[in-house]
Every structure is written in C-alpha cells, then in structure tokens.
Amino acid sequence: MSKIVQYLQTPTFRKNLIAAFIAIICLFLAIYVGLKIYTKHDESIAVPKVKGLHINAALQALENAGLEYQIDSVYQMDAKPGLVIEQDPEQGFHVKSGRTIYLTIITQVAPEVAFPNIKDKTLIEATAILKNHNLKIGDTSYVADIARDIVLDAQFAGQSIRNGRMIPKGSRIDLVLGNGLGANEVEIPNLIGLPLNEAKFALSGAGLGLGTVTYDPNVTDTTTAVISAQSPGIEKGLTSLGAKIDVTLSLTAPAPTATGTPGTTGMSKPQTNPSQTNLPVKSTVPAKPTTTGSPAKSTNPPGATQKKENKSNSLGF
C-alpha cells in the first residue's frame, strides 16, 4: 500500500496523468468537430414546394436545392397523370442538403381491373357495381324489349365486352337498356262505337293500354257515351306491345266505314239502316182480290176446282 502512495507522489505519475487528460480532451474535440462536419451543423435547406407540380418540374426543383428524392405512385380517376399529390417533408421544413424527399404522384398508366357482370341488372345496380370497380358509365341507348332499364349489353370502345376482361380503371362503359315496350307488335283494335269499359277490356286483351280519355262537351252521362275517335287509329295497322291508345268519348259514334268495324274482332253491333226498309218481306196475310178483273191465284192444288163443280152437278144444283 505504501508503494502505491509513493508512486502517486512521483513526477512520472503526474506526467502520465496529465498526458491522459490531454489525450481525452483531444479525442472529445476530434469527435465534436467531426460530427459537426459530418452532420453539417448549422447548415439547413428549406424544402421547396413541389406538391401540385408535374413530376418533371418537381424533380428539377429538388435537384436545384441539392435534395434527393424517392417516388411512389397511386392511381386516381379524374386526376392529371404525373401530378405530385403528396410530399414528405412538407414545404418550408428545414433539412440538410442531400436529404431524401418522398413524393407521391399520380401514375401515368392506369392499372387494370376485371370487368364485372352487370348484364340483366337494373340501371341503378349496374351504376353501383361499375362505381365500385372504378369504372364510369358512358352513353346509354335503348332498344325494344319487354324489360325496362335492364342492362342487355355492355360495350367498351364500341364493342361488346365479356365478363372478366381486364380493362383500365376509369374506362367508360356504354350500356344498352330495354325500353319496356317490347319487341313484339300487335294489331290496333277498332274501338269506335264501344263504351269505355268495353274498350278497356279490348285493349287489355290486345296487350295495349288506355291513354288519354277526352270527353265531348255534350257528354253528360259517361255511362252512355261511346268512343268516337282513337289515336292511333286502325289505319296505322300495328303498334308496339304495351303502347297507349288515346280515345274520345261522344254521345254517338260516327257511321262505320269499310276500313273497319268496332271491337277487337271486327264485329259491329247491329244498327238500323233506313235503306234496308225497301227489301221484300214475306207476309202470311192472304192477298185481297183486286178489282181489276184479274183472277186471283188460288192456293188450292190443281183439279180441286173441277172436282167441286162435278159434285155440285150431281146434287142438282
């Protein structure tokens, strides 16, 4: 123990101790200065605003500021391709030169999506399905079909598209819908002369409907009124299944023409025609004898008169 105390009191120990302190101080100074140089202490660069710029302009601004960059891309419909929508760090944030700035841009090539099954769906259902698949509805056209607003065909770029085909997101899909009138045509019945209830029955049997009903000003009792005009008329011939027929009710119906007769079967109600009264009519009343001297024709069989005369002579008359 005494030897250690004696060594600590020697000039050699004091020199070694001082040299050690000096070495430690120099080491800390070297580390401090080196870190300042390496980290570029008190040197910072304000991040320029590149959000909202096209990617080419954004990269040029970052290079001029001595900053690095890393790019990620996303897809958005109705957005300009190549547009910077996000940057990290934000504008005005102070960073060291060479700092990496992370950018998010709109991709210039839209990703593809499988076309969904929308055939035989209603227009509302098809719209929702297309929207969920990032697709848009283009033009809509209607064709004759019994189903109304039902998707009969879907077209992309002017051609029918099958289910599962890969197409770019945001593509416009044209739809072909049914108009609800049907592709079949039926013959227009003649309603002239029919009361309204019979006309409704005739139209229902033909697959048609009753449209606008117009009353003549002279009509006071609708139960006795008959149809005097219809639109379209029977001269049109055929109309689409489910079409509406407009009618006009009057007190009397116009005289029938050769083009048609009332009713769906072409049969008309018998009407009295004055011109038919001069037709010959058989009578059961015996004709009275005339005074012109001309003998009236007898209805007795031949020879009956002669037998009667012979009987009279035999009795002496």
Which string of DSSP letters, residue by residue, matches 169-194?
A: TT-EEEEEEEESS-S-EEEPPB-TT-
Pick the CATH number of 44-107 from 3.40.50.720, 3.10.129.10, 3.40.50.10610, 3.30.10.20: 3.30.10.20
Domains in the chain: boundaries: 3-39, 44-107, 112-178, 185-250
Cα(231)–Cα(212) distance, integer angstroms: 9
Helix (H) or strand (E) holding 149: strand 148-156
Rg (CA), the chain: 55
Number of alpha carbons in the 13 Å side-chain half-sphere of residue 76: 13
Task: Show pLDDT as tens, one digit a residue, over the chain (317 residues).
Answer: 677 777 777 888 788 888 888 999 999 888 888 877 776 666 678 888 998 899 999 999 888 888 898 998 888 777 788 889 999 888 888 887 788 999 999 887 778 899 999 999 999 999 999 999 989 999 998 887 778 889 999 999 888 999 999 998 888 999 999 887 665 777 889 999 898 889 888 888 887 888 888 888 887 777 788 998 998 888 888 887 778 899 998 888 777 655 444 444 344 444 444 334 344 444 344 444 444 343 444 444 444 444 444 434 443 43
Cα(233)–Cα(247) distance, integer angstroms: 10
Please tell me whether residue 64 adopts helix, strand or coil conformation: helix
What fold is seen in the domain 185-250?
Trypsin Inhibitor V; Chain A (3.30.10)
CATH topology match: 44-107 vs 112-178: yes
| 227, 249 contact by CB (below 8 A) | yes
Neighbours of 124 (CB within 10 A): 9
**With 0-12 CB in 10 A as exposed, 13-18 as middle and 19+ as buried, what is 304?**
exposed
Which CATH code fits 112-178? 3.30.10.20
Q: Which of 108, 100, 68, 66 is nearest to 84 (CA)?
A: 108
**With 0-12 CB in 10 A as exposed, 13-18 as middle and 19+ as buried, what is 62?**
buried
